[in-house]
Structure 1
């Protein structure tokens, strides 16, 4: 694999000032990464932004969009730009858990004649895993991903295997075909930091997509960062300072999604069965920290929190029957929450 092209010198001062320097390095590297993605991906600026935030916040992403919007290409291009390995699993109704995590095979030593089991790692052993149409697999297979997402390790046949870091899962769902699917349980949905909606391109972007994809592909992606660099930046994110009032604002926004809370609006009380839990508050803050340093700022601000409210809350809200009957969407509820809770 090609050596990554560093946009800034790898060395940095030690002590408190080194984190500030690292933030500047990441902001410069972000521009380089986006430039690499633009060689293959047209448009989808918000999707790219959330993808990078999830990456450096060590969060998993749930992509929701119709087929043909370059979700797979985006993930593989990101892996190429970051010197990471990627695997793709096409989830189907007959997919077994061992097809995801790996399996033991019986082998015989040709010299001694002794038999033993050898573990064959599954596609989950990678840096970036694309779980395509994850809601087509039965719950038992979906659950095979849960340990890897939560703990960064896999248990098979009584043995636990650590996954190489960085490790991220990006799953996709098709919003228009629900026949023969198994909705993800709330416990697994809560493990995704963001729900990332992939929308249709603009007319101009679609023309450019057609022109580019029907011509010879000549672009080779040069890596920007190494896996060691990425882990270093991931370790930097939790150290980013955040003021108490910013944390309080994030918690207030999340609590306002719960119909029994005193800050809940009338729209929330009437249409939400269950609001988001504390993991959503954690997601808002860690996501805000990652967003801040990707933009070259060494402090998370309220604007960072508010920019991430929809992708953090959307898949965590459980709407009631009234909302379904009256066509009240999670997006409408989240917008109402943002308007009712001022900065």
Structure 2
């Protein structure tokens, strides 16, 4: 596989998603980036901003197994991971696999389930394996979580702690569409009240698992020059010294930003990274990895604005 093949592959995925989804171009680019570098994503937005539809269309464009879990307050880890049941034919216990045993997992409303169940999923995200009754079971190399959450409801929710949010490559905020996009959405989907069926739009898988793994290997080999490495590190280190930030991003964030920059450059048809790639990815990659100081929150500052300020103040390599 060559770089032009990766570019054609990502364009094919975009085309399939756009059969059903209008707008959200930046969100789609971030999802493609995450796919190419093996990261997980958290989609946050008010109801009706196509979070679930985006995830389903994304999965439908890939020849990978897809599973969905609707998280609820009474959900237990065993409901997600599976449980060992006694098999009378073999006179032993056999694992009945839970929905986590898939490739693309849609974790719908992840903040509605208790921390114990959240932790079970986050272990799978970090280690690509799960442990049931002391036995570790590997997940596939393509395992990827697309989680969603609703930011406007607090009752009956269990917000993810910052340390657990760090497992996600991106936290993507879905906003309302423009008027033109909303008109197109109503024209396309305004003949039904329920979520549209993907079969009605003719979505088909355009990428196999083998092609995906080949693309990931190609992305990992992109050279990142020393000036760009220093630029990424400067941005991350600046989050630790900014007066409005109480806790800055870790070295893991710098590694993830470097990996994501390689992947994003490839989706744009380039085999090299430029500073604009880093700038585009910095906000969704860092917004959930910093903790604002109390005085900054009192003043009404938000993490996105602070990260943008850091980007403006950090010297760009020439």
- Same fold by TM-score, threshold 0.5 exceeded? yes
How is 1:1-343 mapped onto 2 (pairs within 5 angstroms)? 22-109=2-89, 115-215=91-191, 218-259=200-241, 268-269=242-243, 271-343=244-316
- TM superposition shift of 1:339: 1.0
1:178 and 1:337 map into 2 onto residues whose CA distance is 30
Secondary structure at 2:105 match in 1: strand
Contact 1:242–1:301 (Cα < 8 Å) also in 2 = no
- Count of matched residue positions in the alignment of Structure 1 and Structure 2: 310
Secondary structure at 1:256 match in 2: helix
In the other structure, the counterpart of 1:6 is: none
For the aligned residue pairs, the C-alpha RMSD in angstroms reads 1.4
Contiguous gaps of at least 5 residues in structure 2: none
Moved over 6 A (4+): none
- TM superposition shift of 1:215: 3.9
Please give the per-residue CA displacement for 1:108-147, whole angstroms capped at 9, x wherever unaligned: 12xxxx6321111111111111111111111111100122
- TM superposition shift of 1:33: 1.3
Give the TM-score of the pair, scaled to structure 1: 0.87
1:105 and 1:187 map into 2 onto residues whose CA distance is 33
Larger radius of gyration: 1
Secondary structure at 1:257 match in 2: helix
Contact 1:105–1:120 (Cα < 8 Å) also in 2 = yes
Contact 1:292–1:304 (Cα < 8 Å) also in 2 = yes
- TM superposition shift of 1:180: 2.4
Give the TM-score of the pair, scaled to structure 2: 0.94
Contact 1:134–1:172 (Cα < 8 Å) also in 2 = yes
Please give the per-residue CA displacement for 1:12-44, whole angstroms capped at 9, x wherever unaligned: 5xxxxxxxxx21101112212111111000000
Please give the per-residue CA displacement for 1:64-115, whole angstroms capped at 9, x wherever unaligned: 1011111111111111111122111111111101111111112312xxxx63
Contact 1:33–1:224 (Cα < 8 Å) also in 2 = yes
Contiguous gaps of at least 5 residues in structure 1: 1-11, 13-21, 260-267
